[in-house]
Amino acid sequence: MAVAVVDKIVRKCHEIERAYHQGVCGERELRSLERCDRNLQRIVYLLSPDTLEDLRRSLDGLRTLISRSGVTLAENVGFSAHRISSGRQGRPAIHVTRDQMYFLMKQGNTVKQMAKMLGCSSSFLYKRSKLLGIPVRSRFSVIDDEELEHHVRRLQGLYPNSGYEMMRALLHADGVLVPRRRLREMLTQINPAATARTWSSTVARQVYHVPYPNSLWHIDGNMRLIRWGFAVHGAIDGHSADRLSELVLSAGVSLQGNQSTTREFSVFGGITFYSLEDSQLLDPSNDIHKLSLHIVLLPEIQKSLERFREAWNNHALRTENNRTPTQLWTEGMLSNMAMDSAAINNVFGENPYRPHNLEAVLAQHGIDPLPTTDDDDDDELPAVIVEQSQINLSQQQQESISHAIDHISDLKIKYQTCCAEISNVMAT
């Protein structure tokens, strides 16, 4: 028995030493040292004096290294549900609101997960949910196989590379909640070869460490649609403490490229932009064509991107016990909400990146203030140049065009009608 305990302590010492040299040593390693100390104390009578001395020297040396890096054991800095005193004898009662429960349930958290984040027991939440009339069981949608198959085929057409969990999240974004097993059977029934292909193309992501959600955001752009005046960008939270996946995705598309996305839409709704050009229906240099394209397709693309973002943020991660990015974000924020961190304060406290604070933050890191568009040398600013249509429509003209095309569902016909309406408006 003593040999097994000693081996475990030695392994833990090696792990902590590796973490220290990699620069990722923190509170977890300190707690691990505490557990090693505690268990070593339990078997001291089974060890020789030399072995005991060697182990204690190793543990003390590691503790000294970690303390030099400024890491200390923190008190509980997480969120806890408020307690309200009734004026009677006894401990104040826990107070969990309907909004708090609904917020966490909407993210797909189990009662056990909600209890952990709220700092109460699962039994209390079951009683509280019954009192508030909020069902915490049987939250799946009532939908027959034929209707479910229709939803799945439609989403597969829009997102052909989606696996089980992503498809489940896409359905969730549309308000359809079904068990995993039922969806797996449906996908295998519809296209078994595609199911196997999706499994074979799983990407192994690199592991890295970020302390809290909102600490690091990855931002990238996709200029494949710049020819038609669309610039798209993507942003994703990189919090991944021992995680194999990145977290919350921000998605969108704009003419100026100041929003975000991660998806290419050279084909949308059965319309290929190049095919419109080949059919002489679209000339990228024609202001009427360009404006019509934006009026018709920009809202549709944005809507599809919002669905993708909602699905990504709510798809289950195998390496995180099937929790979703949104759940991990919420848990990370609530469990660290009392930490003095810019990432946390940006959500719960004063925003450190407000204009009057930003220059001070940059100065702390020796960075000159960012140039503004008012500066004389703004030509040197890195920017995506998107040529805008030179046509300026009045509010009345916009309403007239919108009234003429709103009832049309076919996007190609809608685009052609929009071109004709703008031409008529310009002619009058």
- pLDDT, tens digit, for every residue of 197-237? 666 566 656 656 677 888 888 888 877 888 888 877 788 88
Query: In this structure, is residue 115 part of a structural domain?
Result: no
Is residue 107 included in any domain, yes or no? no
Residues 374 and 234 in one domain: yes
* Span of 98-107, 237-246, 357-366 with lowest mean pLDDT: 237-246
Regarding whether 368 and 277 lie in a shared domain, the answer is yes
Question: How far, in Å, CA of 415 to CA of 289, rounded?
Answer: 8
Instruction: Categorize the per-residue pLDDT at 419 as very low, low, confident or very high, splitting at 50, 70 and 90.
Output: very high
CA dihedral of 255, 257, 260, 261, whole degrees rounded to 10: 70
Residue 245 lies in a domain: yes
Task: Dump pLDDT digits (tens) for 55-76.
Answer: 999 999 888 887 776 655 445 5
Mean pLDDT along residues 335-354? 73
Query: Residue 36, class by beta-carbon neighbours within 10 Å (0-12 exposed, 13-18 middle, 19+ buried)?
Result: buried
Task: Dig out the tokens for 300 from the structure.
Answer: 């549709």
Q: What is the pLDDT of residue 322?
A: 81
- Residue 254 domain-assigned (yes or no): yes
Among 197, 106, 179, 186, CA closest to 153? 186
Residue 291: pLDDT above 80?
yes
* 245 and 359 belong to one structural domain: yes
Question: Could you tell me the pTM of the whole model?
Answer: 0.62
Tokens of 156: 């597969």
Nearest to 279 by CA among 294, 289, 268: 289
Given this model, what pLDDT does residue 174 score? 85
Average pLDDT over residues 277-296: 90
Minimum mean pLDDT among 9-18, 33-42, 49-58, 365-374: which range? 365-374
CB 33 within 8 A of CB 63: yes
184 is in which domain, residue-wise?
145-200
Residue 323 or residue 352, greater confidence: 323
Q: Residues of the chain with pLDDT > 90: what percent?
A: 10
- The pairs formed by 164-168 with CB atoms below 8 angstroms and a separation of 24 or more are 164/198, 165/315, 165/316, 165/317, 165/318, 166/311, 166/312, 166/315, 168/315, 168/316
Three-state SS for the chain is: CHHHHHHHHHHHHHHHHHHHHCCCCCHHHHHHHHHHHHHHHHCHHHCCHHHHHHHHHHHHHHHHHHHHCCCCCCCCCCCCCEEECCCCCCCCEEECCHHHHHHHHHCCCCHHHHHHHHCCCHHHHHHHHHHHCCCCCCCCCCCCHHHHHHHHHHHHHHCCCCCHHHHHHHHHHCCCCCCHHHHHHHHHHHCHHHHHHHHHCCCCCCCCCCCCCCCCEEEEEECCCHHHCCEEEEEEECCCCCCCCCCCEECCCECCCCCCCCCCCCEECCEEHHHHHHCCCCCCCCHHHHHHHHHHHHHHHHHHHHHHHHHHHCCCEHHHCCECHHHHHHHHHHCCCCCCCHHHHHHHCCCCCCHHHHHHHHHHCCCCCCCCCCCCCHHHCCCCCCCCCCCCCCHHHHHHHHHHHCCCCCHHHHHHHHHHHHHHHHHC
For residues 344 and 217, give the distance between their C-alpha atoms in angstroms, rounded to a whole number. Answer: 14
| 181 and 223 assigned to the same domain | no
Tell me if 324 sits within 8 A of 313, measured CB to CB: yes
190 with 272, same domain: the answer is no
Condensed to tens digits (0 to 9), the pLDDT of residues 26-49 reads 777 788 888 888 888 888 888 888
Average pLDDT over residues 4-27: 82
176 within 8 A of 143, measured Cβ to Cβ: yes
What pLDDT score was predicted for residue 355? 60
The reply to whether 376 and 228 lie within a common domain is yes
Going by pLDDT thresholds of 50, 70 and 90, the confidence category of residue 376 is low
What gap in Å lies between CA 28 and CA 90, rounded to an integer?
35
Query: Under a CB-based contact definition with an 8 Å cutoff, are residues 73 and 28 in contact?
Result: no
For the chain, how many structural domains are there in total? 3
Pick from 50-54, 155-159, 192-196, 252-256 the range whose average pLDDT is largest.
Answer: 50-54
Edge-to-edge strands, sheet with 232-237: 217-222, 232-237, 249-250
Instruction: Give the confidence band of 243 by pLDDT, cuts at 50, 70, 90.
Output: very low
Please report the pLDDT score of residue 263 as a whole number.
Answer: 38
pLDDT value of residue 148:
92
The confidence band for 244, taking pLDDT boundaries of 50, 70 and 90, is very low
Q: Answer yes or no: do 265 and 370 share one domain.
A: yes
pLDDT score at 65: 82
Distance CA 306, CA 147 (A): 23
Q: Do both 361 and 221 map to the same domain? A: yes
pLDDT above 70 as % of the chain: 77
Is residue 390 situated within a structural domain?
A: no
Provide the pLDDT confidence category of residue 257 given band limits of 50, 70 and 90: very low
Are residue 179 and residue 267 in the same domain, yes or no?
Answer: no
Of 68, 89, 106, the last residue of a domain is 68
Structural domain ending residue among the three candidates 28, 52, 68: 68
Distance CA 292, CA 412 (A): 11
Residue 92 maps to a domain: no
The pLDDT confidence band at residue 339, using thresholds 50, 70 and 90, is confident
Query: Token digits for 171?
Result: 């359905």
pLDDT band at 281 (very low <50, low <70, confident <90, very high): very high
Query: 246 pLDDT exceeds 60?
Result: no
Q: Do 192 and 224 fall within a single domain?
A: no
Give dist(CA 33, CA 56) in Å, integer: 11
pLDDT band at 401 (very low <50, low <70, confident <90, very high): very high
Q: Is residue 242 in a domain?
A: yes
* 73-124 tens-digit pLDDT: 445 556 777 777 766 777 788 888 888 888 888 888 888 888 888 888 899 9
Please give the pLDDT value at position 265: 45
Kindly state whether residues 159 and 288 are assigned to the same domain.
no
- Which of these three, 34, 68, 102, is where a domain ends? 68
Domain contains 94: no
pLDDT of res. 179: 86
Whether residues 49 and 150 fall in one domain: no
Burial class (CB in 10 A: 0-12, 13-18, 19+), 343: buried
Q: What mean pLDDT is reported for the chain?
A: 78
Question: What is residue 187's predicted lDDT score, i.e. its pLDDT?
Answer: 86
Please check the confidence at residue 403 and state whether its pLDDT lies above 90: yes
Mean pLDDT over 153-169 rounds to: 84
Name the β-bridge partners of 94: 83
